[in-house]
Amino acid sequence: MPAISRGNRNRCPVPGTLYNTNTLEAFHALDKKSLLKEEANKIWEDIHNGRAVEDSAVLSRFLLISFADLKKWSFHYWFAFPALVLDPPATLVESKRASEWFTSEEVKSVSVACNDWRNSSLTADVPFFFISIASNSHATIRHLKDWEACQADNQKVLFGFYDPCHEKDPGWPLRNFLALISSRWNLKSVHFLCFRESRGFMDMESSLVIEALITAPQGLNDRQLVPNAVGWEKNKNKYVYRCINLATSMDPTRLAVSAADLNLKLMRWRALPSLNLDELSSVKCLLIGAGTLGCQVARMLMAWGVRKITLLDNGRVAMSNPLRQSLYTLDDCLDGGDFKALAAAKSLKRIFPAVEAKGEVMAIPMPGHPVTNQEEKSVVDDCSRLYDLVDSHDAVFLLTDTRESRWLPTLLCASANKITITAALGFDSFLVMRHGPGPFSSVHANTSSVDMENLAQTDKGGKRLGCYFCNDVVAPTDSTANRTLDQQCTVTRPGLAPIASSLAVELFVSILHHPDGMFAEGDITNSTSSSGGSEPPLGILPHQIRGSLFHFSQMTLVGHSSNSCTACCSTVVSEYRKKGIEFLLQAINHPTYLEDLTGLTELKESANSFKLDWDDETDDFDDDDDCVEI
C-alpha cells in the first residue's frame, strides 16, 4: 500500500485483514482460531525484524471477518484485535492518574509535549512513543527508534501510547507493547503513560501512569516460538459474531435504488464489463402508447436501469385493461377510468420510487383523420407539443395500436435523427424493428441542394435502414372508421405483447452499446456482426425481428429505406422542414397528398395501366418432348 499522508490528528493508520465471504455458510465455516494465530504471527515477526520500531502502528493490527447480504442490507461481522500473551504475564505494581503521579511542573510540561506531538503533521498518527523528563521537569517525546537518546542520567523514561480505553484499566494496545519492550530491550521494570484526551487536548485526570514488572518468558528471542494470542471481541459477554440490519434505518427509496443497481452491477461484473450504467440511467425515453405494449416496455426499461420515462396516451383505463396491461389495477378503471398516461406514470413510481416518470395526455394528429376549422388550433398545438417531446428525448418507442398514429412520430424522429423503436402486434405474430437514421443525418439540416439519392446514405456509406412505412405503397389512412366490436378491440394472444416488448427494449439497449449506435447496419441471425472484427457486447444488432407464436419461430430481416416512403424519405422530411405545420395539415386533411408528393400515385397509375399481352395461340402440350422440367 502507498504511504499514508500524515497530519490528521483524528486518524491513526491501523493495518488489518478483512475476510469477506460470499455466503453465510462460508462465514460460519471460517477457522477463527487459525485466522487469529496468523495475525499474531505477523505482529511477532514485526517485533523481531524491527519493523515495529520503525512503524509502531503494526502493533495494533486488527482482523475482521464478515458476510454482507447486500439485498437485505444485513451484515454479519466479528472483530479481533490480536494481543500476544506473555507467559509469565507482566505484574502490575501501581496505577495512578497522571495528574497524581507527575509533579505540577511535570504535568504542565508533559501536557504541552503531548499536545504538540498530537498536533504535529509528522507525529499526529504515531501511536507509540517515548517520554523522557529531565531533572528540570522538561518533557520530550521521541520515536521508539530513538531509545538510545533517552538513556541520559537522571531522566524519567515512560513508554507512551494512545489509549482507546477510558476505564480504570489500560487498553488492549498495551499487551503488544509489552511484548515489544520485553523482546527488544529486555527491561524488567517499565513505566507506561496511557495517553487519553478530552475535547482535543491531553486529559491528565483520565490518563494513567502504570508501573509493571516484566519477567522475560522462555524462548522470547526465538521467532519460531510465537506466544499465544487472544483478541476476539465479545458480544454481550459471549464470544459470538455481531449482526446489524441497516435496512430498517434507511430510506426505502434509497434501498430500492441500491437493490436495483446491485443486479445491474452484478451483471456488469460477471458477464458485461462494458455495460454502461451511467448512459442507461441518463437516457430519456418517450413511449408513445401506454397500452399493453407501453406498460411492458416501461417495466423492461426500468429493469435495465433507465430512470427517465415519459408515457404519451389520450385513452382512459377500461375494465378490460388491467389483465393485460400490467401497470393498471381495478381502481384505475373506476369513475370512467383514469387517463392511461397519468395512471401508468403513477404506477411506475409506486414500483420504483426513483424513476422520473411523467404522463402526457394528448391525441396524436394522424393522416386520413381530417380536422375542421374549429379543431385546427387544437391539432396545431398537439403537433407542436409532440415536436417538443420528441426533441427533448433521446429515444422514442412507437407502441400505438393503429398504423396512422405512428406516422407523425416517425416523421419527427426522422427529421430529428432520434433512436426509434417500433413494436406492432397481430393475433399471433409480431414485428419489432429499429428505424434507420434520418435522411439528413449526414448533412447539414438546412441543405436543400444536395443530391437526393445520396441523402439515403448513412455516415458509413451504406444504404440506410428503413422505417415502419418504407415497405408501403399507400399512405396511412383512417383504419378506425366503421370497425365492428371485434375490430375495435386488440385481439392478440396474451403472451405476445411481453415477448415483443422485451425484444424492443433489448434492441434499444443493444443500440446504445453498439460502437456505431443507430448508424449500425442490420445484422441477421448467424451473420457476422456489422461492427467489424469485434463482437458487440450484447451480440448482433438486427434491423427487424418478426416472430410467430403459431410456429413458435422468430427471424431477423433487413429492409432498406425507400425513396418513396411517406414518413422518412428525403422528399417528405425536406417538405416538412420547409412548410412545417402547413405540410402537416395537408397530410392530415388530404388522403392522397403524401402519395402525390412521394410519387406513389404515379407508381400506382403506372401499375394499373400495365397490360399483359397473352399469346392466344394454343399449343399442344401432349407431346412430352415440348415439356421442360424445372
The CB-side HSE value for 299 (13 A sphere, CA atoms) comes to 18
Residue 489 annotated in active site: yes
543 neighbors 558 (Cβ within 8 angstroms): yes
d(CA 161, CA 200): 16
Per-residue pLDDT, averaged over 414-437, amounts to 95
Q: What is the mean pLDDT of residues 438-458?
A: 48
Q: How confident is the model at residue 419 (pLDDT cuts 50, 70, 90)?
A: very high
Confidence of residue 183 (pLDDT cuts 50, 70, 90): confident
**Would you give the distance in Å from CA 553 to the centre of its chain?**
34
Model pLDDT, residue 481: 67
- The residue to which cell 420510487 is assigned: 353
Could you give the CA distance from residue 364 to residue 411 in angstroms, rounded to a whole number?
Answer: 13
What is the average pLDDT across 171-193? Answer: 89
pLDDT at 62 over 90: yes
pLDDT of residue 587 exceeding 60, the answer is yes
| Better-predicted residue by pLDDT, 614 or 265 | 265
Cell of 286: 418517450
State pLDDT tens for residues 196-230. Answer: 988 888 899 999 999 999 887 766 677 788 889 99
CA 36 – CA 230 distance, rounded (Å): 8
**Cβ contact 96:204 at 8 Å:** no
Higher pLDDT: 149 or 301? It is 301
pLDDT score for 19 = 95
Local structure of 139: helix, strand or coil: strand
Helix (H, G, I), strand (E, B) or coil at 626: helix
Averaged pLDDT, 560-581: 93
Tell me the C-alpha distance between 361 and 314, whole Å: 5
Q: Residue 458: is its pLDDT beyond 60?
A: no
Query: Which residue's entry shows cell 520500531?
Result: 53
CA dihedral defined by 518, 522, 528, 529, rounded to 10 degrees? 10
Of 150, 489, 568, 627, the active-site residue reads: 489
Provide the grid cell at 346. Answer: 403513477
The predicted pLDDT at position 333 comes to 95
> In the predicted model, is pLDDT for residue 626 greater than 70?
no
Q: What angle do CA 502, 266, 537 make, to 5 degrees?
A: 60
pLDDT at 444: 35
Confidence (pLDDT) at 32:
94
Nearest in space to 307 (alpha carbons), one of 268, 339, 264, 353: 353
Q: What is the pLDDT of residue 325?
A: 94
Q: Residue 90 corresponds to which cell in the numbers above? A: 507482566
Q: How would residue 456 be classed by pLDDT, with cut points 50, 70 and 90?
A: very low
pLDDT, residue 448, reads 33
Q: So what's the pLDDT on residue 446?
A: 36
- What's residue 131's pLDDT? 93
- Which pLDDT score is estimated for 477? 83
Structural Rg of the chain based on CA atoms: 40
| Contact predicate 288/400, CB 8 Å | yes
State the pLDDT confidence band at 455, using cuts at 50, 70 and 90: very low
Enter the pTM of the model.
0.68
Contact 404, 369 (CB under 8 A): yes
Which of 242-251, 582-591, 618-627 shows the highest mean pLDDT? Answer: 582-591
**Higher local confidence (pLDDT), 143 or 11:** 143
Q: Containing H/E element for 395? A: strand 395-398
Whole-angstrom Cα distance, residue 231 to residue 238? 13
Asked whether the bond before 365 is cis by omega within 30 degrees of 0, the reply is no
Tell me the residue type at 212. Answer: A
Amino acid of residue 456 = A
Q: In the predicted model, is pLDDT for residue 79 greater than 90?
A: yes
Range of weakest confidence among 65-69, 93-97, 184-188, 371-375: 184-188
In DSSP terms, which residues pair with 62 in a beta bridge? 16
State percent of the chain over pLDDT 70.
Answer: 87
What SS3 class is residue 286? strand
Alpha-carbon distance 87 to 365, whole Å? 91
Q: What is the pLDDT of residue 159?
A: 94
Amino acid at residue number 523:
D
Mean pLDDT of all residues in 258-286: 89
Query: Is the pLDDT score of 483 beyond 80?
Result: no
Lookup: cell for 398: 412507437
Integer Cα distance of 382 and 497 in angstroms: 28
Q: 628 falls in which pLDDT band (50, 70, 90)?
A: very low
What are the pLDDT digits (tens) for 308-350? 999 999 999 999 999 999 999 999 999 999 999 999 999 999 9
> pLDDT of 228-270, one tens digit each?
999 999 998 899 999 998 877 777 887 788 888 888 988 888 8
Provide the pLDDT confidence category of residue 618 given band limits of 50, 70 and 90. low
Confidence of residue 612 (pLDDT cuts 50, 70, 90): low
Confidence of residue 5 (pLDDT cuts 50, 70, 90): very low
CA distance 84 to 228: 6
Of 146 and 431, more confident: 431
126 φ/ψ angles, rounded to the nearest 5 degrees: -100, 110
When the pLDDT of each residue in the chain is averaged and rounded to a whole number, the result is 86
The region of weakest confidence among 326-340, 398-412, 442-456 is: 442-456
Evaluate if residue 480 carries a pLDDT over 80: no
Q: DSSP class of residue 275?
A: -
Could you tell me which of 536, 442, 435, 427 has the C-alpha nearest to residue 487? Answer: 427
* Predicted local distance difference test score (pLDDT) of residue 270: 85
